[in-house]
Chains A and B, each alone.
Chain A
Amino acid sequence: MTARLHGGVRKQYGLIAAFAVAYLLLGLLVRNSYYQLIMTLVLVWATMGLSWNMLSGYSGMISFGQAAFFGLGGYTMTIAFVKFGVTPWIGMPLGVLVGVIAAVIIGIPTFRLRGHYFALSMLAYPLAMLYVFEWMGYQEVSLPMMREHPVAYAQFADPRTYMAFAMVLLVAAMILSLHVERSRFGRSLLAIKQNEPAAAAAGIDAPRQKMYAIMLSAAIAAAAGGLYANVLLVVTPQTMFGMLVSAQALIVSLFGGVGVFWGPVIGAAVLVPLAEILHGELGHIVPGIQGVVYGLAIIVIILLAPEGIYWKLRDRFFPVRPPTSVPRVAAAPAPAAAKPAADAAPALTLERVTLAFGGLRAVDDVSLAVKAGSIHGIIGPNGAGKTTLFNVINGFLAPAAGGSIRFEGADLVGLKPHQICRRGIGRTFQVVRAFPRMTVLENVITGAYAGAATDAEAEELALAALARVGLADEQAYAIAGGLTTKQLRLMELARALAPRPRLLLLDETLAGLGHDALEEMLGIIRQVNREGVTIVIIEHTMHAMVKLADRFSVLDHGRLIASGTPAEVVRDRAVIEAYLGKKWMDRVADPVA
């Protein structure tokens, strides 16, 4: 099965090698030094595109500030060379180091921001640096010519050497991107991009993964910046930190295709020569006409292929079909744990948990104990605080001081959602939070990582979980975006089950299901429970819960108003009133009704 996940890596290596060899052969044939320069610049901007794609394409955090790392890489190399006589062979790795350090310093505060706030804040960093470098007097710094030992200072008489050099860097970035795409790390980034809360609840440490992404991204950009300075032999703040640098990285990626390493390469190969040739051919006739044509070109293409050329071509010529021969999934060996006795120790204990949004106490001084091996129902009308209670348990929200949440004896308060997931608590969401562009299997594998050391193990766990919920075979290869409500609920259940949690928090898993689907879901939940998983389930319809739960806790306006066995709770006057309103009180009082 790992063959599928890693399938094509060797083929991709072959394609990358073929591309590199063909490109360099073409380069050997080109005699015109201007065209040679264009061919080198294509490679530099493709590398910058890969840098952008590493951060923004995979994780979805759109960056308008890749120039910060590009500029730091270029300037570090240049200043080390000019001021201290350090050869670019050392200066460029030094630039990469500076770029990575800057990425950490930038990432720590900036990852607190979301969406447009993140994107536009990233814009501020290179522009702030631009003015600082201008002010420090580095308006225009030229690399000195080293005629004595040119090679020791990375200076070559033949411009094609730079082209080869740029190709080495690009191929390195492509291979790095390829492996990220196929790895657990890349899949985690993709999950974060599609639904960050779901990723956190599935055990992914989102801040850490994003930090790795920006560090890798910065390393690639800084290397490209160092190379660019070497090729042009001069740096200026505008060419290194300017808005056009960031824009170029983003344009080649968006144009070529986001989230796949061929995208930026295609984008750069089309756009960089187009811009240069327009500039060369038309620039002297009508200054500015090249910019107009270039602008029109990218507008037309993006209207025709809004997600980039790569995806358009792939959907047109190589549509993805589910595999024709689906491996049969062996029935998962059910965990051997028997259902514990009714007097088992509590698995989850809440004591005096309170959570207030401003003045509103969404969860108000709730204490409850969930017995190991039981099915515990949390019921209550809309707005009673049920989902908020789950959000507190799984770490999305921090309870007010003084409350405690213990799972198998260990305190959960202060832990992050992914840490709580790894302690063995899975959850599903009221509104299913799928990763819509992944297949069902990939969705579940993403969840399985929390309980697996290797990719192969994660895949095994995922297949077992899918078999447990009855979504095996072809359904496993459907794209999650096209599933029915029932399938989505089952998939989310499988994703929560995959890392083999000991406690499952199910948020209205039964909502929106028809009669048959409901019975099926009840059967699955009971089966999972029989296999030893403690279950806490939220519902606001009573009838299904009475059949399912061993015990009820009833919330109303954030307070726990009753708890007990189903039989006790349905007779509780406070519950009936909170739940059904006064009208029903009369009917209960009158046994004939």
Chain B
Amino acid sequence: MDALKWFLVDFLQALAAGLLVGGTYGLMCVGLGIIFGVMRVVNFAHGDFMMLGMYIAFYLVTGFGVLAFMGPYAGPIVGAILAGPIVFVFGWLLHRYLIARVTGVRVVTAEAEGHYAQIILTLGVSLILQNGGLILFGSVPISVQTPLSRESWELGPIFLNQARTVSFVLAAAFAIALYLFLSRVRLGKALRAAADNPIAAAYVGVDVDRSHRLAFGLGVGITAVAGGLIASSQSFQPYIGFDFVVVMFAGVILGGLGSILGAFWGGLTIGLVQQMSTLVLPYQLQNTAIFVVFLLIIFFWPRGMFGRTWERT
């Protein structure tokens, strides 16, 4: 009887951890999902933008202490949120001067729609960000200090890490705000139209380059916020992007290409699978579990959970 009880506690604990981690993963995936959906570009550098978000939060809070006046509780949160606009501007400029050269209207006639050049370009950006990060930030793992990460709320027998819970709430709030932006605001609707059907969107007058630029800035900005939120519960170094970019790809594909909010559920699923797998599998195999579940879902729903199956012959 006791064994069952303990299993139940473990199960609920893993479920809670999965949801909390998954919420932040979901936000991360939404960022990649916007870029993927609108531009149909595989952004290999996406994890590195998340890394930038982490370091921006770190320097605002601990490094330069700009936000020290906000106290140990609010500082890290505000730092994570501020990472968003900073990385947005960076992404916007990067798209304007670099990415736009190999995407959008220019390349529809190129072989494989220019995917080859896009892959190389984003891999190159990834290398520069990682190694530039190494030069600027050093290789010593660090994290954003907040008293929240050492404290938990107790919900019966379940422990909810305070830093992760706060991150989850903020991630969910951001996802909801984004949902409202995409469904209520004219600019957001144009973006969603461009994700749904880029060609049709261009025909009805959506400026493709502008919506790409917005999508790219927004995408990396949102993921930077997610990075800033994670930074207070996990230590990081300039190469951390690689660990997350695969998780993000999996989440976005799970949600279904073109479905920006599907990406949130995809990321949440990944977080749940990752944490729940530790119930039955050794800790080292939790990432293997992610990939196996990812492949299984893809084989049964080849277009993801929220993708459309409709295609004209």
Contact = CB atoms under 8 A, between A and B. Distances in A.
Interface in B125-150: 125-128, 130-135, 139
B102 A121 contact: no
Nearest to B44: A247
Contacts of A306: 102, 107, 110, 114, 116-117
A175 interface: no
A62 to B, nearest CB: 7
Contacts of A60: 112
Given A120-B253, A131-B287, A308 B116 contact: yes
Interface in B36-61: 36, 40, 42, 44
Interface in B241-293: 242, 246, 249-250, 253, 257, 282, 284-285, 287-288, 291-292
B253 A121 contact: yes
B128 A296 contact: yes
B313 A62 contact: no
Contacts of A289: 131, 135
CB-CB nearest 10 A-B residue pairs: A291-B131, A295-B127, A288-B134, A288-B131, A295-B128, A128-B291, A299-B124, A306-B117, A124-B291, A135-B284
B98 A299 contact: yes
A406 B135 CA distance: 70
Interface of A: 60, 62, 109, 112-114, 116-117, 119-121, 123-125, 127-128, 131-132, 134-135, 197, 243, 247, 250-251, 254-255, 258, 286-292, 294-296, 298-299, 302-303, 306-308, 387-388, 391, 396-397, 437
B111 A307 contact: yes
Contacts of B101: 303
A287 B313 contact: no
A387 B312 CA distance: 11
Contact of A287 (B111, B121, B134, B257): B134
Contacts of A437: 111
Given A291-B131, A302-B121, A391-B313, A120 B249 contact: yes
16 contacts: A60-B112, A62-B112, A117-B304, A119-B42, A120-B42, A120-B253, A121-B295, A124-B294, A131-B284, A132-B285, A255-B120, A289-B135, A291-B127, A303-B117, A306-B114, A306-B117
- Give the interface size bracket for B toward A: 35 or more
Contact of B282 (A124, A135, A397): A135
B313 A295 contact: no
Given A117-B302, A288-B238, A302-B124, 4 more contacts: A120-B42, A254-B117, A286-B135, A288-B131
B303 A250 contact: no
B306 to A, nearest CB: 13
Given A120-B249, A120-B253, A302 B117 contact: yes
Contacts of B128: 291-292, 295-296, 299
B266 to A, nearest CB: 12
Contacts of B96: none
B246 A123 contact: yes
A512 B172 CA distance: 52
B253 A116 contact: yes
Contacts of B253: 116-117, 120-121
User: Dominant SS at the A interface?
Assistant: helix
A254 B132 contact: no
Nearest to B112: A60
A298 B132 contact: no
B249 A292 contact: no
Contact of A307 (B110, B291, B294, B299): B110
A299 B299 CA distance: 35
A299 B125 contact: yes
A231 B288 CA distance: 29
A240 to B, nearest CB: 16
Nearest to B133: A288
Contacts of A134: 284
A295 B130 CA distance: 10
A113 B246 CA distance: 18
Residue from the set B101, B120, B285, B303 with the largest chain A CB neighbour count within 10 Å: B120
B249 A123 contact: yes
Interface in B83-134: 98, 101-102, 107, 110-112, 114-117, 119-121, 123-128, 130-134
B78 interface: no
Given A120-B42, A121-B253, A127 B135 contact: no
A254 B102 CA distance: 14
A192 to B, nearest CB: 13
A84 to B, nearest CB: 25
A299 B121 contact: yes
A290 B131 CA distance: 8
Residue from the set A62, A113, A292 with the largest chain B CB neighbour count within 10 Å: A292
Contacts of A251: 120, 123
Nearest to A57: B116
A359 B253 CA distance: 28
A291 B130 contact: yes
Contacts of A298: 120, 123-124, 127
Given A197-B313, A287-B139, A307-B116, A127 B291 contact: yes
A294 B131 CA distance: 10
B166 interface: no
Contacts of A109: 295, 299
A387 B120 CA distance: 39
B293 to A, nearest CB: 10
A437 B139 CA distance: 47
B291 A116 contact: no
Contacts of A295: 123-128, 131
Nearest to B283: A135
Contacts of B292: 128
A124 B101 CA distance: 29
A125 B282 CA distance: 19
A288 B239 CA distance: 11
Given A112-B302, A116-B257, A127 B287 contact: yes
Nearest to B311: A114
B298 interface: yes
B120 A396 contact: no
B274 to A, nearest CB: 12
B253 to A, nearest CB: 5
Nearest to A250: B119
A258 B298 contact: no
